[in-house]
């Protein structure tokens, strides 16, 4: 069965999740929310034992660390660049702290903002009357967000993230959540950089249990609690998002599922994804494995698709220019004629 594969980058979730250049400013807003008087936590209650700091003291530390990340990320071309520098210079605690704050930041942003409406219309276009997503479509995402899950919960009738991930066959970078991970005939979403959330030794967790949860005091409390356990207890609560250079995290089972499931792709739709050098090795392996690929669509506003095309040729040069098609209309996710 020939397939259509979508390759999603940050631009796919524009408006719901900040793109790279917006992150420092958005972190400043996040810091202000965490320290807002209406969300101040108890100066008597504690998360863990009598000798530990109070909730309000943890909240203050969390704000200080957000300020640190906002300041440092603003000094670099992207937060990814800062993260790579921390890893190379072996500042492992700072690296872990960055991933923790970034995870909680994305959870906050998705609670604050409405879901990007393009996800809803895309799901409506490819879901059958029986509720089954088209088995011809695969989604490969470099994003950490759960926009698909948020949009899909209105179809599934379930508000928790894990039920919707199971129904959508979401397969993250580190842990295969689903028994269907090896089913190459099912709709799947492969998250190459992992997904926003946290894990213990044996299971995935998320600070929120409802995709429709609003920003209230108990929501802030859950973020602060997660920050406390993630940064104070080594290995107890670890972020499930990662970066492209953490190759060891893309386990062989997950990579094998991606390669098998997308091998017979005939059309590739690249949306809001600039194919950065950081990701090129993995992009080359996955796209190079698409032995039946004939047409590639690049969807982004203005002249941006031209840049995408140029970078794509560095990954794969055997597709003729006439089959590298620019799509400037970004009102909806592009639906190719091959569907």
Pair (311, 270) in one structural domain: yes
**Does 92 map to a domain?**
yes
Pair (8, 87) in one structural domain: no
Does residue 107 carry a pLDDT above 50? yes
Q: How confident is the model at residue 207 (pLDDT cuts 50, 70, 90)?
A: confident
**Does 204 map to a domain?**
no
Domain, as residue range, for 220? 20-114+214-241
Pair (229, 297) in one structural domain: no
Pair (30, 125) in one structural domain: no
pLDDT for residue 91: 96
Sheet of strand 324-327, all strands in order from the earlier edge strand to the far edge: 170-172, 188-191, 137-141, 3-8, 265-271, 295-299, 324-327
Does residue 118 carry a pLDDT above 60? yes
Pair (291, 218) in one structural domain: no
- The answer to whether 40 and 63 have CB atoms below 8 angstroms apart is no
Does residue 174 carry a pLDDT above 70? no
pLDDT for residue 184: 62
Q: What is the largest CA-CA distance in the chain?
A: 68
Across 274-294, average pLDDT: 93
Pair (165, 304) in one structural domain: yes
**46-60, 145-159, 181-195: which has the minimum mean pLDDT?**
181-195
**Does 166 map to a domain?**
yes
pLDDT for residue 104: 97
Task: Please give the Cα distance from 126 to 247 (Å, whole number).
Answer: 32
How many domains would you assign to the chain?
2
Pair (122, 264) in one structural domain: yes
Instruction: Look at strands 238-241 and 194-199 and give their pairing.
Output: antiparallel
Pair (109, 119) in one structural domain: no
């Amino acid at each position: 069965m020939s397939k259509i594969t979508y390759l999603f980058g940050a631009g796919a979730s524009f408006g719901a999740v900040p793109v790279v250049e917006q992150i420092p400013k958005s972190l400043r807003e996040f810091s202000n929310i965490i320290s807002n008087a209406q969300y101040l936590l108890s100066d008597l209650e504690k998360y863990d034992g009598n000798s530990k700091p109070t909730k309000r003291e943890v909240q203050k530390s969390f704000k200080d660390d957000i300020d640190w990340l906002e300041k440092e990320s603003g000094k670099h071309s992207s937060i990814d660049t800062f993260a790579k520098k921390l890893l190379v210079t072996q500042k492992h605690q700072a690296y872990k702290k960055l991933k923790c704050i970034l995870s909680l930041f994305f959870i906050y942003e998705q609670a604050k903002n409405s879901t990007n409406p393009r996800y809803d219309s895309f799901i409506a276009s490819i879901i059958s009357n029986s509720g089954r997503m088209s088995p011809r479509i695969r989604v490969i995402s470099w994003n950490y967000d759960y926009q698909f899950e948020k949009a899909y919960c209105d179809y599934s009738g379930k508000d928790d993230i894990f039920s919707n991930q199971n129904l959508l066959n979401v397969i993250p970078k580190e842990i295969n959540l689903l028994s269907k991970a090896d089913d190459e005939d099912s709709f799947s979403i492969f998250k190459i950089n992992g997904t926003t959330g946290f894990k213990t030794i044996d299971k995935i967790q998320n600070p929120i249990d409802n995709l429709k949860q609003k920003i209230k005091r108990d929501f802030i409390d859950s973020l602060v609690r997660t920050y406390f356990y993630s940064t104070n207890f080594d290995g107890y609560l670890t972020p499930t998002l990662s970066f492209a250079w953490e190759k060891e995290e893309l386990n062989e089972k997950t990579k094998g599922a991606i390669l098998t499931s997308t091998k017979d792709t005939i059309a590739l739709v690249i949306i809001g994804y600039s194919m950065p050098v950081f990701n090129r090795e993995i992009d080359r392996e996955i796209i190079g494995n698409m032995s039946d690929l004939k047409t590639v669509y690049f969807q982004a506003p203005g002249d941006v698709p031209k840049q995408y095309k140029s970078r794509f040729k560095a990954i794969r040069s055997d597709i003729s220019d006439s089959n590298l098609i620019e799509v400037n209309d970004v009102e909806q996710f592009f639906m190719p004629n091959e569907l």
